[in-house]
Chains A and B, each alone.
Chain A
Amino acid sequence: AQSVTQPDIHITVSEGASLELRCNYSYGATPYLFWYVQSPGQGLQLLLKYFSGDTLVQGIKGFEAEFKRSQSSFNLRKPSVHWSDAAEYFCAVGPGGATNKLIFGTGTLLAVQP
């Protein structure tokens, strides 16, 4: 069965520091991979997605993610975190097929220290 694991429930970084959020997936073929961000009281917003091709994907707000097939990972990175990046981040895998439904991880809550 498809699944997504986000090992870090909560991460705190200092403003200006680099960030890496981990995501591991289990899927039989090459999946569609996504990162979403959820701010308090807001809906989920798509940061970036990987379908095929270049394994380094650029997204909005200065985020990027790298697909590593050998490690079944799709980690999210940002070189310099801003206070406004504090939010919850969800990795998701899309099995595709007829329904396009997504399977989400449990999320990583990011706190940013001044």
Chain B
Amino acid sequence: GAGVSQTPSNKVTEKGKYVELRCDPISGHTALYWYRQSLGQGPEFLIYFQGTGAADDSGLPNDRFFAVRPEGSVSTLKIQRTERGDSAVYLCASSSQGVGDYTFGSGTRLTVV
């Protein structure tokens, strides 16, 4: 596609439920990133994929968070046993090369009630 697509754009879930957030990167981009943006804050790094493998998952806050990219294209961020503190905008970005040369998606706004 022309840009990075994230679905859903909005997700409301109950505390304790499981959610999946999807990112469809630009075709051919090998690098894929997930960031989380809380209200009034800048984006915070979660995880980086190079191809199918997670090259850096140091930003995942705890073991309730997990992400996959099985075929080196689409990625899914999975959150188990959601908590109200998980409410944020989850941003995905992809890149073909270079530091910081990302294309960001519009994000998924997750609200845990």
Contact = CB atoms under 8 A, between A and B. Distances in A.
B56 A101 contact: yes
B42 A100 contact: no
Interface of B: 3-4, 31, 33, 40-45, 48, 55-56, 59, 91, 93, 95, 98-107
Given A44-B104, A94-B100, A99 B44 contact: no
A32 interface: yes
A104 interface: yes
Contacts of A107: 40-42
Contacts of A84: none
Contacts of B99: 32, 51, 94, 96, 100
Contacts, number: 65
Contact of A49 (B44, B55, B100, B104): B100
A43 B104 contact: yes
Interface string A72-94: 00000000000000000010101
Interface residues of A, number: 26
A106 B41 CA distance: 5
A102 interface: yes
B107 A43 contact: yes
Contact of A99 (B42, B56, B102): B56
Contacts of B45: 101-103
Nearest to B59: A101
B3 to A, nearest CB: 8
